[in-house]
Structure 1
């Protein structure tokens, strides 16, 4: 059988005579990329004719090429093209099936391989000298996308050949593009076993000597100072959250150490017994503290306290330096402690039972008088709560004690919730305001305005809150039920306090858990999470949930009845 190939006749039809056709097979994404297509038509002209058929109205329906038609109409609306501009069109014969023609055009089209696109952009930039902004404008894309394509085009030719052959994915190429060193790229690929060439491992291999710009050392040093010292920045064009790396780790550490040394010198000049720099926090030593005392209209440390205490300059997680003054080393605290001797009862003293009875009467009288004096009761309550938190070993006669649960025992990713650091800063603030000696605390409380005592009481009460649901805790326990009531009364919104990170939260969950969270939040990850490697699945879930107010159910506050809110307000 001989197949006869006919050459269709192309005619030009005025743009305003063309309308979309309901027979077009493409129903989804008809408007996707129209702006890019319009920019391409402006720069290069219409490269492919439209397939049309004559409609009863006398106009022509476009059965294949609706996106091109939308781009042309967009140009006409912007007055970049005449409304009746002649458009090359192929008019279908009477027996042609418009749906079949549309389907053939949309399904038989073979998209360009991403590497071919990258090479084409590179040729325009290097061989023709076109600026990045000009390339972006001519192809209807953004300068950032063009920079990414040029970055990919500079990956090692041998690795790009693997990409074209299907041996690696676009994610691998993006990870390799973090470095411009072809030998390093190839070595990173070859050094990983073929069963574990995850993109994030490639990036780690190429940046193991670098410091991320989000690292606290990089923040402390600052990009300007680092570059002024001769350091270079590695930019990651494919990661919006992590903008790059400081390539010279040794230089970063030298600059950070110099900043710390200057700060240590300044604090040493205050007269402390010792000053310790801590780039990495050291929790192995349990310090006691001395506090500043009133000195006229200001607070100041006593010289005798400074002679036995020291300070430390600590680099915080956010790259700021925090100075903690008045720390007493355990060895100095032991040497300063006076020996105590247990004394026996004096000769002629009352029997112990009689002493207990009489002091019971005194206790009853104290209770009665205190119940009639709210101002003193407030001062005594604040003192009782503050003693165990700020003065180790001291107790009040009030049987009120603030128990402080150490949350770092339960939480690994403290950086995900800034409330931890904010509470620690508040503790430091009150520590600097309180007297250094526990014996002076009650007099200090009596001398304070009620507003100050209420603020301190709120902080001390806050320190005693324990809403941790440990492994063996029942969610219906009295303690956790009250925590829910407290959250409702405070209108607690954990979305404002907690931002889950990939390492701190998502990567510690299974892929089914991640998929369920994304589904529950009603957002699309853009890819099947179950099909991804664990690390990429965690990152995909994080991207999908970023910017939403989703939090796990355990962090959600239950509805607070109106009567409870009124009671809390009262």
Structure 2
């Protein structure tokens, strides 16, 4: 729309709005007609007019061509304004809300002498409240209006008492669209100016609008290097301390509606496809989750479970701290016991015949009898396998359940659990019962030195991957390490692998960095290098290049770099299997869940351990029945079978456990 209103008294024909050339009328033109239906026409001189603060077009443009047209053809369209009031009294000044470029051009013509100082300028007078909407309506149809001007103008209408629904109706927009515009209008004014100047783009604005705090918006923008101000990084900085309603399992379990109904506030990302929200009140969220899970815990107790611990955010490490009741085989039925006894008697008779055949050097007969014996043994084992698995009588009184949320936010129950304190008591009792003065022999190790290095390389990479995202923990751990070496240098702490900063990096097993943790570390390293300034990348540490660059950075950037560097220095590798108390301490502090980074497969574990170890693992993690076939299968086949048996169990070898 290139001109607003023809110079005429609209009281004669209040529905008439002239647009030269039949230009396209935007949807707002009907609203404009309503606004101007009762307006009046007057004239004023240039000195009586000022540009209004409500003029939505804030970016100035050149008016030389417009001034030339006015000088040649005169002023063809009126200006629009409202009478300025101070303390309710008219000042005699009229603020121009539409026609600011024409006013500027007239001023230039008066200054050059092309127009007289008392040049009569036609005006359409409206009220101050109507002026904001009218200015916006006039400019919506023009291609050179910056989007930021639209956002700010709509916010001004809301500030003057207009409802969001009314604004949406006026301009034929969806209510959601208006809400998004208002979110963008709430970005810090300095950043909006950068948007107008092309320094920010629309994606930057969407990320900044995630929070309402102008200081937080500006801090996030200023903390990132100029060449690395990506919308993703802005969003990450602004939501680092908030809970994502779409990805957090506790938030998904409680539900946004229930959280808001309890008085909780949710900051919504109006620009996300799934209407993502962010929660700051973690305490209220946890309370609601505990209350909701408490109902299910009550039902479990009603069903006969002795105790129920509610741990909404329990991970694998937390659950591993609980013991499991021991299982034992129950009694055979009378029929099965009789069948097993009959088969055993037949086997004993065959054993005598086999011995006689061997004594008589009759190898052919001995082989035939051996085959018969194997068949009978298989039948006996099948009968014995029908014994039910039951809770060990010593553990029955200790058994309970842990109620937690899985990764999808759904309730899950760990049954037949034993509390950590009871596990320790049970272990002490068992130790006392088996203490004897006999000389102990060195236990056979399940893990070779090579497998030990491979497993501890994986736990090292997992520790590093977790640490790089926990800057506060990295700072605490760095301080802890230095304290042990500096304050207590003669206590032998420096010899423990996890209590020193290994600047040379850990010596990892071959191909260990091909893991998920290794890939995550490599990706973060590339991201950090890309964000360093040229001086920092050149490594001018001798001239203070890196140090000077770090001194100029905000604390979040320095802490992020510190977290990665401390993470990369961790070394939890072992060349020979032994206890790793420092790994357990650090793993618990980081809430490390090794099942996220490692899984027992034939290639990663079972191909490299003895058969009896495979049987023991499957018995412990699944059941004794599941482990029976492994004793008969070829080792390679048994390794694959063990992998399948443990596919969804989340079992970990001792070297990878933090509990």
- TM-score for the superposition, normalised by structure 1: 0.39
Greater RCO between the two (CA within 8 Å, min separation 6)? 2
For the pair shown, the structure with the greater C-alpha radius of gyration is: 2
- TM-score for the superposition, normalised by structure 2: 0.34
Bigger share in helix: 2
